Amino acid sequence: MALRTIESLAAQFGDEGLSGKVVLLRCDLNVPLKDGVITDDGRVRASVPTIRELLARGAQVVVMSHLGRPEGAPDPKYSLAPVAVRLGELLGREVAFSPETVGPVAASTIANAAAPGVVLLENLRFNAGEASKSDAERQAFANQLAELGDVVVSDGFGVVHRKQASVYELVASLPSAAGLLIQTELEVLDRLTESPERPYTVVLGGSKVSDKLGVIGHLLPRVDALLVGGGMLFTFLAAQGHAVASSLLEADQLDTVRGYLAEAERLGVELVLPTDVVVASGFSADAEHVVAAADAIEDTAFGASGIGLDIGPDTAAAFAARVSASKTVFWNGPMGVFEFPAFAAGTRAVAEALTRVEGLGVVGGGDSAAAIRQLGFADDQFGHVSTGGGASLEFLEGKKLPGLEVLGWQ
């Protein structure tokens, strides 16, 4: 069964298509806010093409999303009101905002909005039914949402790995299809897993090996090289017998990592670890720091109290050279604590190299997407910037994602 698309959804209604229909559009507008101001609008911008496509077809678009973790009850700091303003700016038109997610207030906001137009409902997670572990509670909330529209378009790729009311039960309750963003994400991820142009390099960083175990295991037989940075590199170094001082270490993963090192060697995959790291006196933006060889981290002036916060300059140059020479690259996870300028050089080097890839260079969402924007890169400098860190990783692990299966994706 093939993924249902907006085109196939419209065809169900004959010549009129989606004209006059109220489309419930599930987006992922879970953006970072500081004092009520959006600090990274990447996910809002990613929702715009599907909204414009639906408007062009004459639909009334009712956008739904979550933001943060408000624990199933209204919480002003997680309101989507600032997102409605930004979405209106990007669309060049007013976006009506409903202060309620379901019920008569939401229904009247939709009824009174200009048509065709755009309405944004308040945070879905203000209702406990959205993320409930109870099938019945999720279905009850999905039924309330379904009363507001005629059809559903699911386009929040960042949540398709979650079995939640607006992602799963609602999509199963009404005529439904995937939006343009989900289509694009799947096309890119399919290329990464089924038909990558070679050489194919994966760069993994971030803090924990345990977050990446599944993707390492699934991709090792498919790639030519795996480069490891970020906090997870210290568990790899420790697995090789090196002391890592006070650096982040998942001791319970050492045997698993040794298994991956052996498997990479058996498969002929280059598993590349840093040769040098930036070691600091502590975890702070202004901490004293030096560059040390990866096998001599405890030999610095900081001794056993030193903490590795970035890959070193030699490693950054080697990683960058490998990335820019590849035809397919998937990068997930920063190389260091990029939020601190003194420890952002490794992440910047990988990002710059990714912009030079003559093929497909993919930034795998999450912290990687946040890093490129904070470091001054634009999304259009890369082949693709994913909107779903966790969803992307689970897809690349080979897992079945409920929010895709309900759309017909096999």
CB-based contact 354:363 (threshold 8 Å): yes
Please indicate if the annotation marks 399 as binding a ligand: no
Query: What b/e sequence results for 201-234 when a residue is b if at least 16 CB atoms lie within 10 Å of its CB, and e otherwise?
Result: bbbbbbbebebbbebbebbbeebbbbbbbbbbbb
- Tokens for 215, please give them: 């993707």
Per-residue 3-state assignment (H helix, E strand, C coil) for 149-194: CCEEEECCHHHCCCCCHHHHHHHHHCCEEECHHHHHHHHHHHHHHH
Catalytic residue among 149, 366, 388, 389: 366
What does the radius of gyration of the chain's CA atoms come to, in whole angstroms?
Answer: 23
| Nearest C-alpha neighbor of 357 from the set 306, 307, 322 | 322
Please indicate if the annotation marks 191 as binding a ligand: no
Please indicate if the annotation marks 396 as binding a ligand: no
Catalytic residue among 43, 163, 191, 322: 43
Please indicate if the annotation marks 308 as binding a ligand: yes
Please indicate if the annotation marks 339 as binding a ligand: yes
Number of residues written out for the chain: 410
CB-based contact 344:312 (threshold 8 Å): no
CB-based contact 115:93 (threshold 8 Å): no
Please indicate if the annotation marks 162 as binding a ligand: yes
Q: Which helix (H) or strand (E) holds 139?
A: helix 135-146
| Nearest C-alpha neighbor of 89 from the set 56, 53, 41 | 41
Please indicate if the annotation marks 356 as binding a ligand: no
Catalytic residue among 282, 390, 399, 408: 390
**Angle, CA of 367, 373 and 378, to the nearest 5°:** 130
Please indicate if the annotation marks 66 as binding a ligand: yes
Burial class (CB in 10 A: 0-12, 13-18, 19+), 172: middle
Residues 6+ positions from 255 with CB-CB distance below 8 Å: none
Sign of CA dihedral 168, 172, 173, 175: positive
Please indicate if the annotation marks 237 as binding a ligand: no
Please indicate if the annotation marks 333 as binding a ligand: no
Give the Cα separation of 89 and 337 in Å (integer): 32
Please indicate if the annotation marks 365 as binding a ligand: yes
Please indicate if the annotation marks 30 as binding a ligand: yes
Catalytic residue among 208, 222, 373, 399: 208
Please indicate if the annotation marks 28 as binding a ligand: yes
Please indicate if the annotation marks 26 as binding a ligand: no
Please tell me whether residue 388 adopts helix, strand or coil conformation.
coil
Q: Is 133 a catalytic residue?
A: no
CB-based contact 105:99 (threshold 8 Å): yes
CA atoms within 13 A on the CB side of 317: 4
Please indicate if the annotation marks 43 as binding a ligand: yes
Q: Is 390 a catalytic residue?
A: yes
Q: Tally DSSP H helices, then E strands, for the chain.
A: 15, 17
Annotated binding-site members: 28-30, 43, 66-69, 125, 162, 212, 308, 339, 365-368
Annotated binding-site members for ATP: 212, 308, 339, 365-368
Annotated binding-site members for (2R)-3-phosphoglycerate: 43, 125, 162
Annotated binding-site members for substrate: 28-30, 43, 66-69, 125, 162
Active site residues: 43, 208, 366, 390
